[in-house]
Amino acid sequence: MFGGTGCHCLRDRQSLWEYLCDFWIYSSYKPDGVKGDMDSIRREVLGFYSKLGCNVIDESHDQDTTDLHKCVSHICNLTPESEKPNLCILVTGALGGRFDHEAGNINVLYCFSNIRIILLSDDCLIQVLPITHHHKIHIQSSVVGPHCGLIPVGMPSCHSTTSGLKWNLTNTEMKFGGLVSTSNMITEDTVTVQSDSDLLWTVSIKSGDRTWFTQS
């Protein structure tokens, strides 16, 4: 997990260690901290990063929050208030696998809705579009899209309006058990979203060059 301020934090996910293939990679990507409840990390992995000088923070006493929640909180605590509006946290490996883990990661987006957090997989990205903003998303069509979705999680959206989509919303109500804007398509270079509730924005990622898109 990488924060825009340069704070890098590693959750104790065994799959990340398995993905890395040699010592050069292990040593080149040194997280500032290893934080979590340490229930799944292998001892040799923990020992390796300890020897690299990483700050190991055992939060096993806290069983009410996920490891991702702990890491995001850690990054936020290290970020000065004046820099938080520009903070962007990218989380890899947050999607796929057990659905309850995915739901927990999505919950973190809502717990820290004032911070821009993006969950990444090989196929898509997910982030919260908070109610406090009128969102303008600049799309690089060579990198993301065209498949996308806007999903109200936790509470209905009584009025949502969009532009730049194949099936735009115009003061439309969305809720589970009713209309939810999944399987939509991006048709313009800019997508705008305004709603009376937080919405989950998801967009597909194309293979190849992963140049980022911008948002204002």
Bridge partners, residue 205, by sequence? 144
| pLDDT reading at 117 higher than 50 | yes
pLDDT of 196 strictly over 60: yes
Distances (CA, A) of 59 to 56, 69, 172, 179: 10, 11, 43, 40
Mean pLDDT of 167-182: 97
Mean pLDDT in residue range 164-190 = 97
Summarised one tens digit per residue, pLDDT across range 127-163 is 999 998 999 999 999 999 999 999 999 899 999 999 9
Q: Are residues 117 and 129 in the same domain?
A: no
Same domain, 15 and 45: yes
What gap in Å lies between CA 16 and CA 21, rounded to an integer? 10
The kind and range of the H/E element at 70 are helix 67-78
pLDDT-derived band at 118 (thresholds 50, 70, 90) equals: very high
Q: What is the CATH number of the domain that holds 88?
A: 3.40.50.10240
* Cα–Cα dist 216/49, whole Å: 37
The pLDDT-based confidence of 50 (bands split at 50, 70, 90) is confident
Domain end, chosen from 121, 139, 170, is at: 121
Examine the domain organization and report whether 17 and 105 are in the same domain: yes
Instruction: State how many domains the chain has.
Output: 2
The predicted model scores a pTM of 0.78
The tokens of 200 are what?
A: 């989950």
Confidence of residue 9 (pLDDT cuts 50, 70, 90): low
The reply to whether 152 and 188 lie within a common domain is yes
Domain extent for 16: 1-121
In a shared domain, residues 56 and 135: no
- pLDDT tens column, 62-115: 788 888 999 899 899 989 999 999 999 999 888 988 899 999 999 999 999 999
State the pLDDT confidence band at 2, using cuts at 50, 70 and 90.
very low
- Same domain, yes or no: 31 and 100: yes
Looking at 121, 153, 181, the residue that finishes a domain is 121
Measure CA 119 to chain center: 2
Strands (E), the chain: 2-3, 9-10, 33-36, 55-58, 88-92, 116-120, 124-129, 135-138, 144-151, 157-163, 172-174, 181-185, 190-195, 199-205, 214-215
Task: Report residue 200's pLDDT band, with 50, 70 and 90 as the boundaries.
Answer: very high
Q: How confident is the model at residue 5 (pLDDT cuts 50, 70, 90)?
A: very low
Q: Do both 78 and 109 map to the same domain?
A: yes
Block residue for tokens 């399987």? 183
